[in-house]
Chain A
């Protein structure tokens, strides 16, 4: 009888240990998954912010590394409906550009802008994917836009700054081996532009729009990199 009780006691201890080990394993897996999810969300935030910052020379030049790519809000947007411009220049970096004279980006500035952009893009985006190429083109488009037209009837437009005010994550899904991930959510993006008018100088307009996003990521050399970004204006928030 004592032997049976002893063996039952041992069995209970054994089962208890199994339960504890299982709980520890689940907790570890869960914690690892949470860590992975946090990493994926952080890369997504950096990619969305970079995507919205690239067209703006002074913003790009103020970013020293990808850790600086964070959501930043400005109180000027708080009571402004999406798709309606705030009629003022909004700047998130330290020194406001001097808009008292016509801005012309020289070749050295353009080269520095593209070089810095390439450096940041290469850290977050998988090379030669359509989104990677699109990111490189964004800088070229922005430079073309700010080039001073030879005809005075055409008015120069300069991009001052841009970023992401807010991100709400809706879902993060991994494949079985956790080598790919898809992140969905909404973001509130903003930009500040100025049109040069002969009589009035630069006239600023700063819109913000809410967008739905889906970001696809892949693990490359054990690091999460962006494979694709899809963005759609939230209904009622389009220009």
Chain B
């Protein structure tokens, strides 16, 4: 009986440990991510630094609000290796953070190459998706490359929020929130804001 009890205790402890430390075990809370994105779409959360190019910092915060766990490499308690895209973190006390938290192409690498959180659900090159479905759900991400540098990676991010009418352009479709040029419920390809839309590549990135 004692042996069975010990085995049960061991299995139970293992299960609890796995639940606590497995980042993918907890489902992504899309509503929480979307709520956060909407709350700070046109303002800034003082717990984080405000950057001139704030788009990646902003979507990282919203992803984290939705339960995507930070991945921190600690050495003697201090965050380490800010430029290593295997890690994704922001320390609210020290403001130490990884490039992947704040730099568009580094978040791209983290989400799509080094973690299991992101998948490309659609690529829209030049014709920016007019004739294809945007398959995204609230809390997923939209990535953009303006056709300037590193054409295979994002240089801008936004978060998918809902379907409706963009108040600034009057265009109807999927709507996103974004920082840098701040947008709340903007048409998802950002074409009404982009005189260079025909050079822009857009990716739908699903988050899990």
By a beta-carbon cutoff of 8 Å, the part of chain A in contact with chain B is: 52, 54-55, 83-85, 87, 134, 137-138, 140-142, 144-145, 147, 149, 153-157, 159, 162, 189-191, 193, 195, 197, 200, 203, 205, 207-209, 211, 230-233, 235-239
Contacts and interface: CB of A to CB of B under 8 A. Distances in A.
Given A155-B173, A203-B171, A205-B169, A55 B198 contact: yes
Nearest to A141: B126
Contact of A84 (B128, B193, B196, B200): B193
11 contacts: A54-B198, A85-B169, A154-B133, A155-B130, A155-B173, A190-B195, A191-B194, A195-B171, A195-B172, A207-B193, A239-B191
Nearest to B144: A239
Contacts of A207: 192-195
B84 interface: no
A162 B169 contact: no
B146 A144 contact: no
Interface string B49-93: 000110000000000000000000000000000000000000000
Interface centre among B125, B156, B169, B172 (most CB of A within 10 A): B169
A193 B192 contact: yes
B195 A238 contact: no
Given A205-B171, A239-B193, A137 B146 contact: no
A191 B168 CA distance: 16
A138 B126 contact: yes
A238 B181 contact: yes
A2 to B, nearest CB: 76
Nearest to B198: A55
Interface string B143-176: 0101011000000100000000000111111000
A141 B125 CA distance: 8
Contacts, number: 112
A52 B195 contact: yes
B199 interface: yes
- From DSSP, what is the main secondary structure of chain B's interface residues? loop
Given A209-B195, A235-B52, A239-B156, 5 more contacts: A84-B193, A197-B172, A205-B169, A205-B191, A207-B193
A148 to B, nearest CB: 9
A123 to B, nearest CB: 21
Contacts of B187: 195
A104 to B, nearest CB: 14
A87 B170 contact: yes
A239 B179 CA distance: 10
Contacts of A142: 198
A157 B129 CA distance: 10
Given A144-B126, A156-B130, A193-B197, A235 B169 contact: no
**Pairs of residues from A and B, 8 with the lowest C-beta to C-beta distance, nearest first:** A141-B126, A205-B192, A239-B194, A239-B193, A191-B195, A144-B127, A239-B190, A205-B169
A152 to B, nearest CB: 12
A137 B126 contact: yes
A153 B132 CA distance: 10
Contact of B130 (A149, A191, A237): A149
Contacts of B192: 85, 193, 205, 207
A204 B195 CA distance: 13
A211 B195 CA distance: 10
Interface centre among A52, A193, A238 (most CB of B within 10 A): A238
Contacts of A235: 52-53
Contacts of A134: 199
A205 B128 contact: no
B131 interface: yes
B208 interface: no
Contacts of A84: 168, 193
Contact of B148 (A197, A205, A231): A231
A155 B191 contact: no
A203 B169 CA distance: 8
